Amino acid sequence: MTQTSRSTSESGSGAAVVGRGTQPGPKASKVRRRLRAWGPGLLLVSPSLVLLGIFVYGFLGWNIRVSFTSWRGQTPVYDWVGTRNYSELFDNERFQIDVRNLAVFTFVFIGGSLLLGFVMAMLLEKGVRFEAFFRSVFLFPMAISFIATAIIWRWLLNNGSGESTAGLNKLFDNIGLGFLFSDWHKTPSSWAIAAIALPAGWALSGYVMALFLAGLRSVPEELREAARVDGAPERKVFWHVVRPMLLPVLMSAVVILAHISMKTFDLFYAIDQGNLRIDTPALYMWFTTFQPGFFARGATIATLLLFGIALVIVPYIWWSVRTERRK
């Protein structure tokens, strides 16, 4: 029951946003004229707005509501337990492990992908033969699902040793780099999850390259030329002319990668299940919610994820929209 009223109030607030302009103005005819001007447009987008209002904001709100209940088991319970789920979660050891894992993963994944993507963009920037080929090779993993990626890499990240050495370790062995042997995500170290940054980086560093490449090429040649005329060496041209223009690109890449690392689920899920060393909040949410039935806990984890992502995404959207308006 509470649900029904909640969701109507949710879509109600959405409608209030959309319909700000429908309040009767001082001059009725003017209003009618304006209404005729933008009314049809509003009408055309309203189905989408209503759907998104419900499926995004309504559901997010509903999920947050669940995080304040004691809902456990298969029958929904909409009581109010305050912030109990949150304080329990902060004391929950698995969640603490998950957060630490996520931090390690995010750090290695973003750092690695940025570095690799940047290097690739720099290598391609000046124009090389077969550039299209190189670009395609660096980008194609983006077209493959995380599930397929995980299934391939699960075999590459095999940690068998001795006779049963396989995967990347075997490859290292074959090319005389045997000392690189690693237990990957099965090592007891708390850096185990960093191994997953390998498939994740494989999948996404091409994206970073594409962003940087677009950024590098949007630097007007005249600007560089001007600096060169002033006698600046190429390195200085890069530092003083190109670098400042790449900062926004860097920011985009960091934000995109950070939000992907927080919400990715299937890559970890398909590489190794029930391995706490590569457990993240996104996985814990799935595994605690649906089978054992800890719905309130699952909703709490999801809410925290939402806030984590909003923390990087909201300023980014705000900044993007503002930049666009300035143009």
Partner 1 sequence: MKTLVRTGRYLALLVLVCFFLMPVYALLITALKDPASVSVVRMWELPQSFSMENFRIVWPDLREGFVNSALLAVPASLVSAMLGAANGFVLSKWRFPGADFVFPLILFGMFIPYQAILIPMYRTMQSANLVGGLDGLIIVHIIYGLPITTLIFRSYFAGLSDEVIEAAKVDGAGMLRTFFHVALPIAPPAFAVALIWQFTSAWNDFLFGVLLTSREFWPITVALNNIAGGQTVPFNQAMASALLASVPTLLVYVLLGRFFMRGLMAGALKG
Partner 2 sequence: MRYSRRGIVALGLAAALIALPACSSSANDDDGGSSGSGDTEVEVFSWWAGPGEKEGLDAMIADFTTKNSGIKFNNAAVAGGAGTNAKTVLATRLQAKNPPDSYQVHAGLELASDIEAGYVEDITYLYDQQGWKEKFPKGLVDAITVDGKIYSVPVNIHRSNLLWFNPATLQKAGISAPPKTWAEFLTQAATLKSKGITALSIGPGWTQEHLLENVLLGELGTDKYTGLWNGSTDWKSAEVTAALTTYTKILGFSDLKSAAADWQPALDKVVDGTAAYNVMGDWADGYLKGAKALKFKTGYDVVATPGSEGVYNFLSDSFTLPVGAPHKGAAEKWLVECGSTEGQDAFNPQKGSVPARTDADKSKYTDYLAAALAEWQNPATKIVGSLAHGVVANNAFKGEIDTALQIFVQDGNVAKFADAVAKAYDANK
199-258: contacts with partner 2 (CB under 8 A):
none
21 versus 190: smaller Cβ distance to partner 1: 21
CB of 97 to partner 2, least distance (A): 7
Tokens of 149: 């990626």
B/e letters for 303-321, b = 16+ CB within 10 Å, e = fewer, are bbbbebbeebbeebeeeee
Q: In sequence order, which residues have a C-beta less than 8 Å from that of residue 260 and are 6 or more positions away?
A: 204
Contact residue for partner 2 among 40, 188, 221, 326 (CB under 8 A): 188
CB of 154 to partner 2, least distance (A): 9
CB of 227 to partner 1, least distance (A): 20
CB of 216 to partner 1, least distance (A): 13
Determine phi and psi for 62, rounding to 5 degrees: -60, -45
By CB under 8 A, residue 58 contacts partner 2: yes
Task: State the number of binding residues for partner 2 (CB under 8 A).
Answer: 39
What is the rounded CA–CA span in Å between residue 167 and residue 160? 9
Tokens of 111: 């750092």
What is the rounded CA–CA span in Å between residue 187 and residue 271? 14
104 versus 138: smaller Cβ distance to partner 1: 138
The sign one gets for the Cα dihedral 256, 259, 262, 268 is: negative
What is the rounded CA–CA span in Å between residue 260 and residue 204? 10
42 versus 99: smaller Cβ distance to partner 1: 42
* From partner 1, partner 2, none, interface partner of 57 (C-beta below 5 to 8 A by class): partner 1
Task: Give the per-residue contact string, 4-43, with partner 2 (x = CB under 8 A; - = no).
Answer: x-xx---x--------------------------------
Distances (CA, A) of 212 to 119, 208, 216, 245: 9, 6, 6, 10
CB of 305 to partner 1, least distance (A): 4
What is the rounded CA–CA span in Å between residue 30 and residue 37? 11
What is the rounded CA–CA span in Å between residue 20 and residue 5? 22
CB of 230 to partner 1, least distance (A): 23
By CB under 8 A, residue 160 contacts partner 2: yes
Do the Cβ atoms of 224 and 215 come closer than 8 Å?
no
CB of 258 to partner 1, least distance (A): 10
Contact residue for partner 2 among 80, 107, 133, 290 (CB under 8 A): 290
Tokens of 100: 């630490």
Contact residue for partner 2 among 29, 44, 235, 291 (CB under 8 A): 291
Positions in the binding site for partner 2 (CB under 8 A): 3-4, 6-7, 11, 47, 50-51, 54, 58, 62, 72-76, 93-94, 97, 159-161, 183, 186, 188, 272-277, 286-288, 290-294
